Amino acid sequence: MSAEKTEKAAVVKADKPAKADKPAKTTKGKKVVSIKDAPRKTSTEKLINVLLAPHITEKTSLAMQNTNTYSFRVRRDSTKPDIKAAVELMFGVKVAGVQVVNETGKTRRFGKVQGRTQDIKKAYVRLAPGQTIDYEAKIKA
């Protein structure tokens, strides 16, 4: 029985055509672009869920006044292009740059039980000159 199975498997493998080598790409005046360089398509549902909350502290309020930089807590799996697109979509402003900070959670104790707070990701979004975000207007709307 096992000999018959191996013969059938050998026949099935022999029936498959061998892969032909792909011809080399020529670049006569054409730019070769890989799939990794292509822009990712993001849906509006995904972009709406990227921003979790504004991160307002004394340091960030000074950054808002001096450098037109706003701070947000964002999802840990979001990327800089996602954050830029989300801010432009939700607030209708032009973003000049995005910087991201991953903060590790702190170790905490409650009696004998030791635990840890969650890791968070913060994004510092610098807006183009003349652009502002009014948080209160967005809340009331």
The structure tokens listed for 103 are 């903060």
Residue boundaries of the structural domains of the chain: 43-140
pLDDT band per the 50, 70, 90 thresholds, residue 35: low
- Average pLDDT estimate for 7-20: 53
Please give the CATH number for the structural domain made up of 43-140.
3.30.70.330
pLDDT band per the 50, 70, 90 thresholds, residue 137: confident
Residue 83 has pLDDT above 90, yes or no: yes
Q: Give the model confidence (pLDDT) of 100-111 as tens digits.
A: 999 999 999 999
pLDDT for res 134:
86
- Average pLDDT estimate for 105-123: 95
pLDDT for res 34:
63
Residue 69 has pLDDT above 90, yes or no: yes
Most confident of 1-5, 12-16, 27-31, 77-81: 77-81
Alpha helices (H) in the chain, listed in sequence order: 2-15, 44-48, 58-67, 80-91, 135-140
Burial (CB count within 10 angstroms: exposed 0-12, middle 13-18, buried 19+), residue 40: exposed
pLDDT for res 16:
52
